[in-house]
Structure formats: structure tokens, C-alpha cells
Amino acid sequence: MKKPSHFELFQTFLTIGAISFGGGVVAYLRDALVRRKQWIDDKEFLELTSISNTLPGLNATNMAILAGDRLGGVVGSVAAMLGMCLPAFVFMTAAGVVYGSHVDRPLVDAALRGVAAAATGLIAATWFQIGKKSLKGFYDAFFVLAAVLLVNHFKLSVPIVLLIVGALAIYTYRPKRQEEPPHATEEQWIKSLG
Amino acid sequence: MDQISGLARVFSYLSFLTIGGGMAAFPEMKSLVVGTYHWLNEEQLVHVYSVGQMSPGPNMMMVAEVGYLVAGFLGATIAALAFFVPTGILTFGVGRLWQRLANWPWRDSIQRGLGPVAIGMAVAGLITFGKGAIHGWLTLAVAFAVFYATVKTRINPALLILSGAAVGVIGLR
């Protein structure tokens, strides 16, 4: 597999950053990096997604940083990140210009009420699908419920809930202890040697 | 100038709460943007967040729109940099360490444990969001229709959101 130039990296991520309307950036990335350009293989791509999922930050930008670094070091990482972010930055700033100007306010607000309702359904569907695939067993259900109750019912702040439920979950899935070497019998054996 | 440093502080802080995606940070974003700083009201924040769902690339670039509404183009730039650079540096560092962490037994524990936590935080965020987005039967019907279409078909989500806008223009004035 040959390594792309920094400009090629920027171009590739800029394209994905510009066409991935409606989310699902990871699917676009896999299609470009693994299937079409063949810069990384599926195994490495999966590794990058699992790093990206574990860390704060969005999948789109975390993946750009990680893949950019693997393919072009620090500069590659910055190039990929910039490419991924620029179109969205232009899109959302333009949305701000429109929203902040004196356009037909009741019309825009009505449209946005519909957009917000649709976004609620869309985000719910996304997490429903992730949950159906990845939640397993009593503990997982418990952690989901605990997070929801602590945030929405007990009104604890997000960082507090993340710390409490996060620590509890990591502890629940803590590394299994290695089998202890049989000290007792070893000692007896040494003693038995006199 | 106060607004600019406020944007930098708020959005760099919020970025570290986005475990599993932006929705996890929404309740905290609401309490800071709407409550503490009064930059937007709840309906405006829900609207700006929703427009972010239509954007290509990272949908949390909606922070740039908040920044723009607070302090113009400089505000948009600062909000975006604050939100994406600090966690970006963290990701870069961990990415480089990752191979070396392969033998660290807690690596798998953290990955396994944070999965359900991320889902829980997203659902909690979505409930907060939904309270601002769902008012009355028509918005509820739109949300259910989009949910159903997303789960059952492969239609592009951006189209579904645009259909939501059309329903809004016709029925929610």
C-alpha cells in the first residue's frame, strides 16, 4: 500500500466532508480509504474506529485525525482534519448568517420546528440501531438506565454522571485476574526440600 | 471580548463530554448556552442543533453557528476551534499510544465499559432535546415517521430532515 501525499489526503477528506450529508461519515470513510484508495485495510480501519469510539470528540473528526496520522504523520493528520471540517464550517456559518438575518421569521421558525422534530426521530433511530447491536446483558441495560435517570430525573450534570456511571461500568468489566501461581504448594515443596 | 473567551471556555469544556457523540453533551450545552450565558433560548438551541444534523461532515459543527450568532465570524471560528482542537490533540496522542497500550489489560475494560455508557448518555441527551423539539401531535408524528423510515429503509437522513422542514412550513406556522 503506497502512502498518499498530504494534498491527496486533504482532498480526499475534503470530499467526504462535503458530501456526507445526513451523517454516517464512518461509512463514507470506509468506502474511500479502504475500498477505493486502499490506503488502509479493514483490520486497521476497525482498530481506528474503536479508538475513535472510546475517546471524546466526534467520529468524523477523530477518524480524520487517526487515519491522517497513520497515512501522513502530524501534517497528514492536520490536513485530514481540516478537510473534514471546512465544508461543515462553511455550511453552519452560512446557516448562522441566514438565521441571524431578518428573513421571514415565522416561516423559518415553522420550518425549523419540523426539522427539530425530524432530527429527534433520526437521532433516536441511530441510537436505537447502535443499542440493538451492542447492548448485551443486564449490566449494559443497567448502565443505560442509570445514565438516563441521573441526568433526566435527578438532574445531575453530565460530567458527574459520566464519572459515576463510567467508573462503575469500567470496573464492572475490569480485567479478569490472572490465575495466581500456586504459591502455597510451591512453598510446601521448597520446605519439603528441607 | 468577554463573549469570545466565554465561547472558547464553554465549547472546549463541552467537547470533552462528547463520549460516543455530540448528543451526550446536549444537556450540559443547554444549561450553559441557554441558562448560564443566555446566548440563545431553548427553542433556538434546539433549532441550531437540528440544522447541524443536515450538515455534511461532523454534525457538531453546529457550535460554529452558535458562535456566529453570539459574536459573528470571529465567534464562529473560536467556537469551532475550541470544540475540535483540544479533543483532537487528545485523540492524536492516544492514537499514537494505542499500540503500546495493547498489553494494558484495562484498555479492553474501558472500551467495553464505555459502550453502554455512551448509549445511556446519548439517550439522556435525546430526552432533554426531545422536550424542546416535540410539542403536540404533529411534531410527535414527524419524529415517529422519521424514526420508522430510518430503521426500515436506507433513505438518506438529510432528505428526511428536509421533509420535516416541509411539514413544518405547512403545519406548524
Query: Model confidence over A115-163: pLDDT tens digits?
Result: 999 999 999 999 999 999 889 999 999 999 999 999 999 999 999 999 9
Decide if B74 is inside a domain: yes
The answer to whether residue A162 neighbours chain B at the CB level (below 8 Å) is yes
Q: Which chain B residues have a beta carbon less than 8 Å from that of A62?
A: 87-88, 91
Q: Residue B138: inside a domain, yes or no?
A: no
The answer as to whether B148 is a domain residue is: no
Interface of A with B in 87-116 (CB under 8 A): 87-89, 91-93, 95-97, 99-100, 106-107, 109-116
Residue-wise pLDDT tens digits, B64-116? 999 999 999 999 999 999 999 999 999 999 999 988 888 899 998 998 999 99
For residues A19-43, give the mean pLDDT: 90
Tell me if B56 and A21 make a contact (CB, 8 A cut-off).
Answer: yes
B145: nearest CA partner in chain A: A121
CB B33 within 8 A of CB B63: no
| B153 assigned to some structural domain | no
**pLDDT at residue A24, as a whole number:** 80
User: Does a structural domain hold residue B87?
Assistant: yes
B158 vs A contacts (CB less than 8 Å)? 21-22
Round to whole Å and give the CA distance between B40 and A33: 39
B-chain residues near A127 (CB < 8 A): 23, 119, 122-123, 126
Residue B103: per-residue pLDDT = 86
**Within a domain: residue B166?**
no
Q: B167: which 3 cell numbers? A: 411539514
Length of chain A: 194
pLDDT at B102: 83
Domain total of chain B: 1
For residue B124, the enclosing domain spans 2-133
Q: Which of B51, B111, B126 sits opposite A54 (nearest CB)?
A: B111
Closest CB from B43, B57, B69 relative to A60? B57
- Residues B12/B16/B18/B23 CA torsion (nearest 10 deg): -50
Residue B121 lies in a domain: yes
Q: HSE-up of B58 (CA within 13 Å, CB side)?
A: 33
Between B172 and B164, the higher pLDDT residue: B164
For residue B39, what is the DSSP state?
S
Long-range contacts of A166-170, Cβ-Cβ distance < 8 Å, separation of 24 or more = A166/B19, A166/B113, A166/B114, A166/B117, A168/A143, A169/A139, A169/A143, A169/B113, A169/B114, A169/B116, A169/B117, A170/B106, A170/B109, A170/B110, A170/B113, A170/B114
Which of the four pLDDT bands, split at 50, 70 and 90, describes residue A181?
low
Q: Does the CB of B92 have a partner CB in chain A at under 8 Å?
A: yes
Minimal Cα–Cα distance from B109 to chain A, Å?
A: 5
User: Is residue A79 pLDDT above 90, yes or no?
Assistant: yes
Q: Which of A44, A59, A70, A89 to mutate to test the interface with B (most CBs of B within 10 A)?
A: A89
Is the ipTM beyond the 0.85 threshold?
yes
Residue B168 covered by a domain: no
What number is the average pLDDT over the span A50-61?
92
With an 8 Å Cβ cutoff, are B124 and A152 in contact?
A: yes
B123 interfacial to chain A (CB closer than 8 Å): yes
The grid coordinates listed for B155 are: 433513505
A169 contacts in chain B (CB < 8 Å)? 113-114, 116-117
Average pLDDT, chain B: 94
Q: What are the residues whose beta carbons fall under 8 Å from the beta carbon of A191, sequence distance 6 or more? A: none
Q: What is the pLDDT of residues B112-140, one digit of tens each?
A: 999 999 999 999 999 999 999 999 999 99
pLDDT at B14 > cutoff 70: yes
Residues in chain A with CB shorter than 8 Å from the CB of B172 are: 110, 113-114
- Closest to B33 measured CA to CA, from B21, B42, B24: B42
Nearest CA in chain A to B84: A57
Instruction: Give pLDDT, residue A190.
Output: 61
The three grid cell numbers given for residue A40, joined into one nine-digit string: 488502509
CB contact under 8 A, B121 and A111: no
pLDDT at position A64 over 90 = yes
Closest Cβ opposite residue A117 in set B80, B118, B139: B139
